[in-house]
Structures are given as C-alpha cells and as structure tokens.
Structure 1
Amino acid sequence: MSVVRIIKNLIGLIFIPLVSGAALSLFDTAEDFFRVNKNSLYLPAGIALYVLVRIIISRLGSSLMEFFEVFYHELIHTFYSIISFKGVKSFFASDTKGGEIEISKSNFVIELSPYFFPLFALIFCGLKLFIEKEFQCYMIFLAGLGTGLHLSSLFHDFKFEQSDIEKNGALFSFVIVLLLNIIFFGIILSILGSDHLSIWQFFERCINNSKNLVEYLTRILLDVSGIKK
C-alpha cells in the first residue's frame, strides 16, 4: 500500500466524526425545512417523479435514462476539470460503454465529483433566488428532479470496483463522498428554505455537532483508559 493511500485512509478515519456531526445537522435542517416551508413537499415530489420516470422508461426497454446519467456523470467530471484549470482533451458518453473524459491532469476532487456534486439541483436552487415567491415552488420541484437524478446516478455508479473509487481507496472515497453529499444537501435545503434557514446556520450546526461528538468520544476513551482529564 502506497504512502498516499495510507494518508488517505487516515484522513477517512479522522473525518468520520465530521460525517456524523454533519448528518445530525442535515437532519435538523431537513426537519426545519419541512416544518416551516409550505412548498417543502415539492422537493420529495420531484425526487419521486424522477425515480418513477426512470423506472418506467427502463422497463420499456429504453436506455435513454442510462445514457443521460452517464452523460451527467461525465459532465460533472468536465465541470470540475474546468474550474480546476485542467485541460479537457476529450469527452465520451455511452449507455452501453459507459463514459470517459481525458484531461491534462487529475486529482481526487475531479475523480469523486460526480458522486457528491448535485449539479442540476444546485442550479435550480440558485435560480430560485431570482424567482418571484409565487413561482418558487416550481424551482423547488425542479431541484427535486435534479436531486433524484443525482441520487439515481450515485446509486448506480458508486461501486468499489469503479476506477474513480479504486484509485482513491474505498474508505477515503466512501467517507468523502458521504460527507460532501450531506453538506451539499444541507446547502440545498438551506437555499430552498432561504426565507427561514441559512447556509451559515447549517455549517454552524455541523461544527458544533462535530465538536460535541469529538468531546464525547474523547471522554469515553479517557474513561476507558482510566485517564482523568
């Protein structure tokens, strides 16, 4: 095992309490979102519709949705390559052969980006900020469709034998993907419920929950080892 792989595994272990703290924060943010936002049900409605349409089209024998999700996967690789100032040399997407992009230089963020970045959901969240209040429910619904696409793509693509995952190690990839999914979904809920919630409140909850969890685990370890703090 290479030194880089060992370091990544250690980072994965260190980040586990942060994942737990972020998950608690996401739960609190989701609870607030569904309690105070009268249009909140448009979000799960959009997710459910995407999943339903995907199942129906696939059952009809069409590979359209598979191609769309492969294209979406490679599009996010491309997006992160561009914002990382890496040259994109080629782009390929197929429903039967999968997808691939060729870039000048890669990194773990580019490689794992399709598994944690809900691109279309975030686009619709951003558009909501510029829409009149009476029409914002439609942006929430479209953000739900984008979330459904992301979750479906994640479910079908995240496999430990995937080259993106193998390259970065299963533990590191799993923890980073889980953590960033939680964070981005927290951001989505905060933007969609922007009349009542804030992104900074979500991150403050993440920090406080993670800090409390680390302190709690530290106390347990000290008690078990017999060390008085």
Structure 2
Amino acid sequence: MTGVVDRIVNLLKWPVGLLSLGLLPGVAVGFFEVLRRVLNNPQPMMLFGIGFTLYYVVWFLFFRRRIAGSLFSTFEHELTHAIFAWLTLHRVQGLKATWNRGGVMTYKGKGNWLIYLAPYFFPTLTVPIVIYLLVVHGATPEWVDALLGATMAYHITSTWRETHREQTDLKEVGFIFAFLFLPTANLAFFGAILAFAHSGLESSYQFLVTSFQISDGLWSSLTNA
C-alpha cells in the first residue's frame, strides 16, 4: 500500500507544481488583502502580533546565528518529515536531532516529495493550536493567541534558515519543483492562519476561495485575450 501511495503522490508532483505556479498570483493578492484588513483593524490581532513580535526579537537577538545551535528546530523539522511519512502510510523507523549537526528521520519505503518538502511549508507547531481553538471555540486563555503568533514567527524564521542550496531535501525533489510549489504553499498557509487569527475560520475559507477565483479570472482573461 505504501508503494501505491508513493506512486500516486509522485505522479501528481509536476501537475501540483504547475498548479501552484498558476495559483501564485491569486494567493499573493489574497494574502495582501488579508494583510490590508489586519492593518485596517488590528485590534483582533493584538495578542497574535505580540507573540509574533516577541518571538522574532528573541530569534533575531539570540537564535539567528548558526552558532546558537538548533536542537529544537531540528527536532521539529524531522518530526514534520515523520508526520508526512505517517500520513502517506510509511512506518517511521527512527528520528534523530542534534544540537549543531542536523538530524535525520528514517522510514520504510521509497518516499515521496511531500515527505521531503513538508518542513518547508507546513507549520507543525501552529496547526495544533488552530485545531485547539476550533475545538474549544473561544473559551481559551488570551495567551493562546500570543502563542499562535509566536509559533507562526517560529515557522517563518526556521523555514528561512533551513531553505538554502545545500539542503538535501530540496536537492532530492529538485530546485525547480521546490521553486514552483513552496512560495504558493507558504503564502497559502500564512494567509489562511492570518485570516483565522483575525476573523475566524470563515475568513480563512474566504481567503482560499478568493485566491482561487483571482487566479482563475487572471488566467481566463489571458487565454481569452
């Protein structure tokens, strides 16, 4: 079964890459529209913004340089690989993280591009908080919103730090595909979470729908010109 899933996922690789490129204009416009709404009415985002800013300042002052080590971010990176290995029905055999020598996650089977690229677009620490907020539906301590912002800042800074030419994951899937897929995937996740933090789940859904509609309209106008 694992082999079948891998073949299907890998078969979809380039269609997904091209679709991501096609959706990028709409996702970018949709993201800036969400950002505009946030700037026009920042009050619902105050705690999110505080958490985001505090983490970014701490990262910039203490964790930005590689000499600071990266045990936690390495563990989170490998855990994200493991999550997508599980989601595509692989049996994870081991996970190792070190302070300054990277880490490794091993699993049974050949693998697929989703496993390799997952840490570069999926906010592993943020998603559980979003799920928690949806389940409890408003009856949460205020610090949870700040934590949501902090985890989003963590995802952005760790992804920035981990995305470089020597990254073996990116070499494995190919830089061209990574270039096609990752910008859209990151903007989509960040825009959806920003919209959720500001106005709730319906706003996230509307952001995604609007982004698709903008891209669809753009490409339709170009092909009909």
TM range (shorter): 0.7 to 0.9
How many residues align? The count is: 214
Q: Does 1:149 align with 2:154?
A: yes
After superposition, the Cα gap between the structure-2 partners of 1:132 and 1:207, relative to the gap in structure 1 and judged at 3 Å, is closer
Counterpart of 1:82 in structure 2 is 86
Q: Does 1:215 align with 2:217?
A: no
Counterpart of 2:185 in structure 1 is 180
Q: Which residues of structure 2 form unaligned runs of 5+?
A: 1-9
Q: Does 1:72 align with 2:76?
A: yes
After superposition, the Cα gap between the structure-2 partners of 1:191 and 1:58, relative to the gap in structure 1 and judged at 3 Å, is closer
Higher-Rg structure is: 1
SS state of the match for residue 212, structure 2? helix
SS state of the match for residue 122, structure 1? helix
Counterpart of 2:194 in structure 1 is 189
- Out of 88, 94, 99, the position equivalent to 1:95 is 99
SS state of the match for residue 72, structure 2? helix
Counterpart of 1:201 in structure 2 is 206
Deviation, structure 1 residue 38: 2.1
1:121-136 paired onto structure 2 within 5 Å: 121-131=126-136, 133=138, 135=140
- Out of 14, 17, 30, the position equivalent to 1:12 is 17
Contact 1:127-1:139 at 8 Å conserved across structures? no
Deviation, structure 1 residue 124: 1.6
Query: CA–CA distance in 2 between the matches of 1:123 and 1:177?
Result: 21
1:24-39 paired onto structure 2 within 5 Å: 24-36=29-41, 38-39=43-44
SS state of the match for residue 165, structure 2? coil
SS state of the match for residue 118, structure 1? coil
Q: Deviations over 1:153-207 (max 9, x none)?
A: 1111111331111111112112211111112112212332345843321221011
Query: CA–CA distance in 2 between the matches of 1:163 and 1:137?
Result: 40
Query: CA–CA distance in 2 between the matches of 1:207 and 1:14?
Result: 11
TM-score by length of 1: 0.81
Query: CA–CA distance in 1 between the matches of 2:195 and 2:140?
Result: 18
Query: CA–CA distance in 2 between the matches of 1:33 and 1:139?
Result: 19
Query: CA–CA distance in 1 between the matches of 2:49 and 2:133?
Result: 17
Query: CA–CA distance in 1 between the matches of 2:16 and 2:122?
Result: 20
Counterpart of 2:174 in structure 1 is 169
Counterpart of 1:138 in structure 2 is 143
TM-score by length of 2: 0.82
Deviation, structure 1 residue 80: 1.2
Query: CA–CA distance in 2 between the matches of 1:44 and 1:216?
Result: 38
Counterpart of 1:57 in structure 2 is 62
Query: CA–CA distance in 2 between the matches of 1:141 and 1:42?
Result: 5
Deviation, structure 1 residue 141: 1.1
After superposition, the Cα gap between the structure-2 partners of 1:77 and 1:61, relative to the gap in structure 1 and judged at 3 Å, is closer
Counterpart of 1:225 in structure 2 is none
Contact 2:48-2:197 at 8 Å conserved across structures? no
| 79-88 or 55-64, larger mean C-alpha shift | 55-64
Q: Which residues of structure 1 form unaligned runs of 5+?
A: 223-229
